[in-house]
Amino acid sequence: MRAFFTGAFGLLLVAVGLQDRGIAAAIPSGFTETQIVSGLASPTAMAFAPDGRIFVCLQGGQLRVVKDGVLLSQPFLTVSVDSSGERGLLGIAFDPNFASNQYIYVYYTATSPGTHNRISRFTASGD
C-alpha cells in the first residue's frame, strides 16, 4: 500500500496494491511517496477510521487494520466470500456516528444462499 501526500490542504491519494499487479504509478508533481505496509494479499479497498486506524479489505475476505503505522497480526474480521474474478471483500465504510456507535459496514460477495453481493454491519470492539 502506498500513500501520496501533498501540501497545505493535506490531500491524500492512496494506490493500493499497484506493485502487486505490475502497474507503475507516476507520482504527481508536489506529492511524496510513503510505504505504509507491505505483504497484503489482493487489497481491494481501504478507509481511514476517525481514530486514525486504516482498515484494509482483502479480496479473500479479511479486513485488516493498520494502527500507528503497523499492520496488526490478526484480522479485524473475516467474512466468507466468493473471491473469483472481481468478487470478494470489496468495500468498507464507517457510520457517520462511528465515534459513538462503532458501526462498520462492509460490502462483499457472499456465498450463501447462492452467490450474491451483501452489505453487513459490524460493531467494532477494539482492534
Q: What is the pLDDT of residues 90-125, one digit of tens each?
A: 999 999 999 999 999 999 999 999 999 999 999 998
What is the three-state SS of the chain? CEEEECCCCCCEEEECCCHHHCCCCCCCCCCEEEECCCCCCCEEEEEECCCCCEEEEECCCEEEEEECCEECCCCCEECCCCCCCCCCEEEEEECCCHHHHCEEEEEEEECCCCCEEEEEEEECCCC
- 23 versus 120: the higher-pLDDT residue is 120
Q: What is the pLDDT of residues 24-53, one digit of tens each?
A: 678 889 988 888 888 899 999 999 999 999
**What pLDDT does 32 receive?**
86
16 to 9, 51, 67: CA distances (angstroms): 22, 21, 17
Angstrom distance (rounded) from CA 33 to CA 82: 33
**What pLDDT does 10 receive?**
41
The grid coordinates of residue 10 equal 493535506
Bridge partners of residue 122, in order along the sequence: 104
Closest CA to 57 of 99, 119, 126, 125: 119
